[in-house]
Structure 1
Amino acid sequence: MVTASKAWDVAAAVPDPELPCVTVAELGILREVVMEGDVAVARVSPTYSGCPAVQFIEEAIAEALRDAGFQPRIERVISPPWTTDWISDAGCEKLRAFGIAPPQKASNSKRALFGETVVACPRCGATDTEKLSEFGSTPCKAHYRCKACLEPFDYFKCI
């Protein structure tokens, strides 16, 4: 029997192409999957309007659904816009284990938008870190260095 729950499970397991340690569901990019007749409709939000991976993500979700026997349709949802607050706790832990400092859960605060954020090193946990560049390996991450262990790392910016 074809159900939205099964379609969700299939789509939710798709890894993010830029961060393969987490799935599109753990990042909060996959908003929902509903069945409309025989069609599995996956609603997806890009992390930001210029995200170069959004089309690849949509195609990967459609392919996973097709491979599981679903007729897929992908709908891009931009309102409300995606926020880093939608990253699950499991997703944050997976980012940290991968060596990326997860975002602080304050994307709509003035401190996150205009102030300095204390970023803990994902390797040693020290908070004595410094921002090296506003942009890291992707535009949604900043590049930091830990002053305690001297390791460089990316920080997933609050959006």
Structure 2
Amino acid sequence: MVTATALEAELLELAGAVPDPELPVLTLRELGVLRAVHVHGTDAVEVDLTPTYTGCPAIEAMSVDIERVLRAHGIREVTVRTVLTPAWSTDDITPEGREKLREFGIAPPRVRHDSDPVPLTLGPTRTHRTDTGTGADAGTEPVRCPHCGSADTELLSRFSSTACKALRRCLACREPFDHFKEL
């Protein structure tokens, strides 16, 4: 593993502070999409950026914002590369990012404890359950309402304002909310 130089670390911090265009409450660092910054020569930089999913329309806006910030810092040539491997996962969202989502009224993705693919289950839409240790949801944390914390929620739509989110409703406080889906 190559260690980043002090300049690369500084530029990574600057680029990482850029807000996500779809979720401006999060920075690119907190979202986990900014992978690396490589300095070439005295004023050329290559930035590695991984989209949340292939074809994510926000990748272009992220790239433009990164270029603008780094050029304002005196870097003449900025190249933003889209890097698909390793693929981005919701596990890449930082703990600070998860808390910011919750405070913003979006249920953060549940934390996965293994690196296996996320199973897709087409079953009941409610997450309130008594965990018997069996079935597709066994051991899965329920989607909690970001407003009141209740685990008694239901799925209204598998897609919300962006493809990364689902629309849910809390059955306790009756408030609708977005849930950042696990990937």
Give the TM-score range, shorter chain.
over 0.9
Cα distance in 2 for residues equivalent to 1:25 and 1:83? 13
The aligned counterpart of 2:107 is 101
The CA RMSD measured in Å over matched residues stands at 1.7
The aligned counterpart of 1:27 is 31
Instruction: Specify whether residues 153 and 74 from structure 1 end up closer, same or farther in structure 2 by C-alpha distance, changes over 3 A only.
Output: same
What residue ranges of structure 2 are gaps of 5+ in the alignment? 1-5, 122-135
Cα distance in 2 for residues equivalent to 1:19 and 1:151? 20
Match of 1:60 among 57, 65, 77: 65
Cα distance in 2 for residues equivalent to 1:20 and 1:109? 29
Q: Is the 8 A contact 2:118 2:182 kept in 1?
A: no
SS of residue matched to 1:25? helix
Match of 2:83 among 74, 77, 85: 77
Cα distance in 2 for residues equivalent to 1:112 and 1:146? 23
Q: Is the 8 A contact 1:7 1:70 kept in 2?
A: no
Cα shift at 1:7: 0.8
TM-score norm. by structure 2 comes to 0.81
SS of residue matched to 1:130? strand
Instruction: Specify whether residues 34 and 132 from structure 1 end up closer, same or farther in structure 2 by C-alpha distance, changes over 3 A only.
Output: same
Cα distance in 2 for residues equivalent to 1:97 and 1:46? 24
Cα distance in 2 for residues equivalent to 1:104 and 1:34? 32
SS of residue matched to 1:96? helix
User: How far does the alpha carbon of each residue in 1:73-129 deviate from its partner, in whole angstroms, 9 at most, with x for none?
Assistant: 111100111110000000000010000000011285566533456200011110000
Q: Is the 8 A contact 2:158 2:166 kept in 1?
A: yes
TM-score norm. by structure 1 comes to 0.93
Cα distance in 1 for residues equivalent to 2:64 and 2:72? 12
Answering whether residue 181 of structure 2 is matched by residue 157 of structure 1, we say yes
The aligned counterpart of 1:123 is 147
Percent identity reads 47
Cα distance in 1 for residues equivalent to 2:143 and 2:102? 12
The aligned counterpart of 2:19 is 15
Cα distance in 2 for residues equivalent to 1:102 and 1:47? 14
User: How far does the alpha carbon of each residue in 1:44-81 deviate from its partner, in whole angstroms, 9 at most, with x for none?
Assistant: 00000121111111111111111111131111100111
Cα distance in 1 for residues equivalent to 2:117 and 2:49? 27
What residue ranges of structure 1 are gaps of 5+ in the alignment? none
Structure 1 stretch displaced more, 63-72 or 148-157: 63-72
Give the AA of the match of 2:37.
Answer: V
Cα distance in 2 for residues equivalent to 1:27 and 1:76? 15
Give the AA of the match of 2:11.
Answer: A
Q: How many residues align?
A: 158
Greater radius of gyration (CA): 2
Cα distance in 1 for residues equivalent to 2:158 and 2:117? 18
Cα distance in 2 for residues equivalent to 1:52 and 1:40? 23
